Amino acid sequence: MTERGWGRRFEDPIRIGDRLLATLLDAGEYIATLPQKEHAAPEWQAAMEP
């Protein structure tokens, strides 16, 4: 059974520096910790759209 919601795993995890983003929750937490200037960038805003 496939997990739903924030615990859903990516087919291919995303490596950013020494961090591995394996779930939607990981990605959301990462985006939330970005400085405001980066957080507001169009590419991150697009990534957060449903």
Q: What is the distance between the alpha carbons of residues 32 and 1, in angstroms, rounded to a whole number?
A: 29
- For residue 27, pLDDT over 80 is answered with yes
More confident residue, 45 or 50: 45
pLDDT tens per residue, range 1-26 = 567 788 889 999 999 999 999 998 99
* Contacts with 26 (C-beta within 8 Å, 6 or more apart), sequence order: 19, 20
More confident residue, 34 or 20: 20
